[in-house]
Amino acid sequence: MVPNFHYKTIEEISGLLLAGKLSVVDLVQSQLDRINELDIHLKAYATVMPHQALKDAKKADIEISNGNYRGFLHGIPIAVKDLCYTAGVRTMGGSAVFSNNIPTYDSTVVRLFREAGAIIIGKLNLTEGAMSFYNPKFDIPQNPWKPSHWSGASSSGSGCATASGMAFGTIGTDTGGSIRHPSAVCGTVGLKPTWGRVSRFGVMDLAQSLDHVGPLTRSSIDAGIILQSISGSDPNDKTSLPHPVPNMLATADAGVNGLRIGYDEHYTNEDMEKTFAESIYHGVKTMEKLGATIVPIKMPKNLRTYMDAWQIICATEAASNHGDTFPSKANEYGPFFKHWLETGNKYSGKEYAEANIERQKCSGEINQFMKNIDVFACPSTAKAAYPVNDREQYGPVNTKRDPWNSRFTVPTNFCGLPTISLPSGLDGNGLPLSIQFIGHYLSEPTLIQVGNAFEKATDFHELHPPV
C-alpha cells in the first residue's frame, strides 16, 4: 500500500480496482487493520463487520475480474450511521433500549449500497436518538484532530471515521445540522440533500419531517458518487420524492463562471469566531476569482424568532417516534434524551401547530431570499471544535440550549433545501474550519459543481488529522 492510501478518494480507489491494480480483499483488509489500530482511541464504530465485509469483498473481486463492474462504489468500503437498519446486524440508534435490536431487513440506503457493490464495513456511533448527547452505556466518538474536543454530535462517528481514513465514505443524518456539524469540525465534505431525495425507510427517526439522509466524504465528487447511488423514489417511504435522479456529476467540472453566490457579511460575522468568519470571506473571494458573481443579500430579520420552533417540532416528533419504549423503558435512556422525550410529551397540539406555522414562515422567507441567486455561502456551524469532556456529553441535561447556535443549519432543515459543507482551512488551534453552500430545491448537481470548483482552487480537503 502507498503512503496515506486510506486517504485516497472513492474516485481514485475505484480506478485502481477497475484497472486490477488493487484487490477488494486487500482494500477491505487494510481498512479493517486501520480500524483495529485507531478505533480503540477514536471510538467511531459501534459495530465492525469484518467477516461479512471480507465475504462481500471476495465476491466483488470475482465480479470485477469477470467484467461485471457495477460502478464507482463497487468494492469500496463504506460505513453507515447506526440508525440504518442492516439485516442481521444490531442497529441501536445510540440508545441502550435498542441494544438488542437486530433487524431482519436492510434499510433502503443499505440495500442500494449493496446493489452498487459497496462493502458495508460497519455501523457508526452517534448521540442517543440522533439528538445532542450520548447514552452513558455507549462510547463517544473522538474528534480525530484533537482529543476531548467536540466531534459534531449526532453523526460524530461518521465524521470521525471519514476524516481519519477508517472509511472511504459514510452515511449521516441531519435533523438540525448533524451532517454539517461533524463535517465542519472533523474536516470532511458533507452533503445534505433535498428532503425526500434519499429514502428514510429503515432509518430510525428522530423527527421525520426534519430528518435528511446524506453522505460524508473527502471530496465533493465522492459525495456525488454516493448520493447518485442512494437517491430516488422508494415505495417504502411515501415521503421520498418522485423526481427522476439526475446525473449528479454531469456539471461537476463546469466551474463557477457566471454563477451567482449570495453572501451576507453580517450573518456570517455576528457572534462568530474571527478565524471562522474570515475563512468564509476568503472562500467567497476565491469563488469570485473563479468567475462567480458575489451578490450581497440579507438573511431574514426574523430568523432568530424562528429558531425556537425547531425544538418544539423535533421534541414532539421524537416523543411520538419513541412511544413504544418511552416512558415504559425510561430507565434505559440517558439523562438528556430522556429529558428531551419528556419535553416532547408535554407540548400541546396547539404548540406543535404554532411551531409548524413558524416553520412555514421561515421556509417562505428563505425561499424568497434565495430567488435571485444560485447558491448562498455561509458557515457550516457556529464554531470550530471546542473542548468537551465525557461527563458533559453524557449529561446532565443542558437546560441552557441556545437555538441561535443552529442558525446556519436549522433553516434548511425547515425548508428541506440541499447544502454542501466543505473544509475551508484551520483555525489558530489547528482545528478545521468549514464553508457551507446552500442550493435551491433539487440542486445537488450544482452544489457538487461548486464544491469541486472550490476544491480545485484550494487544498483544504487534502488536510488530514494527526492520528
How do the residues of the chain divide into helix, strand and coil, expressed in percent and rounded to 5?
A: 40, 15, 45
User: Of 23, 95, 107, 154, which residue is the catalytic one?
Assistant: 154
Determine how β-strand 45-48 pairs with β-strand 77-81.
Answer: unpaired
User: Of 178, 183, 363, 443, which residue is the catalytic one?
Assistant: 178
Query: Which one, of 11, 186, 172, 160, lies nearest residue 80 by Cα?
Result: 172
Place of cell 496515506: 4
- Structural contact between residues 299 and 369, judged by C-beta atoms closer than 8 angstroms: yes
Separation of alpha carbons 292 and 80, rounded Å: 35
- Structural contact between residues 78 and 216, judged by C-beta atoms closer than 8 angstroms: no
Quote the longest CA-to-CA distance of the chain: 62
Separation of alpha carbons 337 and 397, rounded Å: 8
Separation of alpha carbons 221 and 218, rounded Å: 9
Q: Is 288 helix (H, G, I), strand (E, B) or coil?
A: helix
- 81 belongs to the catalytic site: yes
- 107 belongs to the catalytic site: no
Residue 433 carries which DSSP code? E
User: Of 8, 43, 81, 338, which residue is the catalytic one?
Assistant: 81
From residue 147, alpha-carbon distances to 142, 225, 426 in Å are: 6, 31, 16
- Structural contact between residues 385 and 145, judged by C-beta atoms closer than 8 angstroms: yes
- 99 belongs to the catalytic site: no
Residue 462 carries which DSSP code? G
Q: Active-site positions?
A: 81, 154, 178
